[in-house]
Structure 1
């Protein structure tokens, strides 16, 4: 067993996250309203852990993998993120990032803004905090888009001209890159909402260039954008680049792509396969079911959640082709679905 490394003197205390309990999955989040449903792990917890490991290595000057594993295992015996964070030294930049995570987790706009502002006091360049502040304070979508572009440009300037070179294969494995990629994704969302689809495509393609393995799942958004604009070649390229993709978005995207290409036989064949895998998508696309007004990011992986995600990515594309929807409804009626 490696020699236990003594803890160094603690510096600034990391604020406790609303989801601070690692072991409990029923931690309640409080905002202006109270939500009684159980809350699973935060979507940022893996990222938090990765940042912690980086700081663990820096704080203890760990060089031996066995020693690192020992320190990680020891940290994971703690029951809260606060205890984990207190076991190493954190810079103001890392504390600001934790505040930004909490801002993004909050369901209360005022609390989110307060946390973002606190983060920016510690690190004026904290991308997640800048984005959160911009979103909460936005007066219009167009002004928000311009603000997001400035935040992204500032981040790229801070990274430096050589930061992106040669990192295409492992870019998203770099934990510091994740806030930047989130900002790009947020820009895509609002560009699309503003009807600036061409710009959305360029940003999405940029994200895939940086991260071909596509940890963020931007290929699903890009597929919807390609189909919405009738770019069948772009959609077909995605199908070739991700041949093992079997999820609902690619299945229902291929149905529409084959329909638009005039290959009705293949469209019908993929439709039968898609229905057998997840019948709920059809209900949302043809309007038999309405998408909930509020969709919480609760890490659900059930068929209903997948169907809603599929509608979010492809709904506009399908609605852009009324004849395709008529065919879909007719086929469903004839098949008794």
Structure 2
């Protein structure tokens, strides 16, 4: 037990790129096996995962990934206060490992260096918890930090940031973010830029972006204009009726999921009216 309180260190590698280095007590094979066994219980048996992860963080108080997944276990059980506190703990443990020489404004902890991933996950999870608890301005700060640390955004942080900016009704920052990724061909960004232009009463620009948006998902306009929204059945691969195949791009499941995450935005009367006008013009 003597080494279990050893703190990870963060070392400079090259340029402004740094990397976490974990003590032997955390990377020990037995400890690692316990962690991954706990992770496998998530979703199916969250209470078991919770108990196993609690044991790990008691024995290893600097085990960032264990805190992150403990927070997820709490959230899955709707223990929302515990999930918030544990997500904050994971983030603060990681921040506490950064040396004074580390400059949060310009230094990076990139995702391809795999030992940086626990802290990057801690950033993401803390942002998600803040967003879930409607602490949107704080969530924006964490998401921006996450993107600054790992600009290539292997985690899809920009989509969470965009959702949060829309929740804040900060359409100027949302538009700026959308313009930073002109080649992002996702439902979130292509319909996001259409929504921004509608809200800014620039329907000419909305029209210009609409064709590309529809190419990302042909079902979404119908989803927005429905009076009653019903979650579609899960996507199934033919011949595999019991296999959950996830949410394919361009699917009705994707359209519903995107609407569900941003329904306050898409309840806006301007957006609904615009899409109804589009539907009418398509049926002529």
Same-fold call, TM cutoff 0.5: yes
1:290 matched residue in structure 2: 230
Selected match of 1:307 from 255, 258, 261: 255
Q: 1:163 to 1:298 in 2, by over 3 A?
A: farther
User: Do residues 153 (structure 1) and 92 (structure 2) align?
Assistant: yes
User: Do residues 120 (structure 1) and 57 (structure 2) align?
Assistant: yes
What SS does structure 2 have at the residue aligned with 1:171? coil
Q: CA deviation at 1:218?
A: 0.8
CA distance in 1, matches of 2:86, 2:107: 27
CA distance in 1, matches of 2:244, 2:189: 21
Selected match of 2:39 from 104, 107, 120: 104
What SS does structure 1 have at the residue aligned with 2:61? coil
What SS does structure 2 have at the residue aligned with 1:173? coil
Q: CA deviation at 1:324?
A: 1.7
Q: 1:265 to 1:316 in 2, by over 3 A?
A: same
For structure 1, the residue ranges without an aligned partner over 5 or more in a row are 1-89
Q: CA deviation at 1:250?
A: 0.6
CA distance in 1, matches of 2:79, 2:162: 27
1:327 matched residue in structure 2: 274
Q: CA deviation at 1:153?
A: 1.1
Contact 1:188-1:204 at 8 Å conserved across structures: yes
User: Do residues 216 (structure 1) and 155 (structure 2) align?
Assistant: yes
For structure 2, the residue ranges without an aligned partner over 5 or more in a row are 1-22, 236-242
1:217-251 Cα shifts (integer Å, max 9, x gaps): 11111112222323232122223322221211110
Q: CA deviation at 1:300?
A: 5.2
Selected match of 2:145 from 206, 221, 234: 206
Contact 1:225-1:317 at 8 Å conserved across structures: no
Contact 2:53-2:67 at 8 Å conserved across structures: yes
1:200-232 Cα shifts (integer Å, max 9, x gaps): 111111111112211111111111222232323
Selected match of 2:175 from 236, 239, 244: 236
1:268-279 alignment, distance < 5 Å: 268-279=207-218
Contact 1:92-1:122 at 8 Å conserved across structures: no
The number of residues matched between the two structures is 248
Contact 1:227-1:257 at 8 Å conserved across structures: no
CA distance in 2, matches of 1:276, 1:329: 18
TM-score by length of 2: 0.72
Contact 2:68-2:87 at 8 Å conserved across structures: yes
1:21-44 Cα shifts (integer Å, max 9, x gaps): xxxxxxxxxxxxxxxxxxxxxxxx
Contact 1:224-1:317 at 8 Å conserved across structures: no
> 102-111 or 214-223: which moved more?
102-111
Which is greater in Rg?
Answer: 1
CA distance in 1, matches of 2:49, 2:25: 19
1:60 matched residue in structure 2: none
CA distance in 2, matches of 1:247, 1:284: 17
2:83 matched residue in structure 1: 144
1:130 matched residue in structure 2: 67
- RMSD of aligned alpha carbons: 3.5
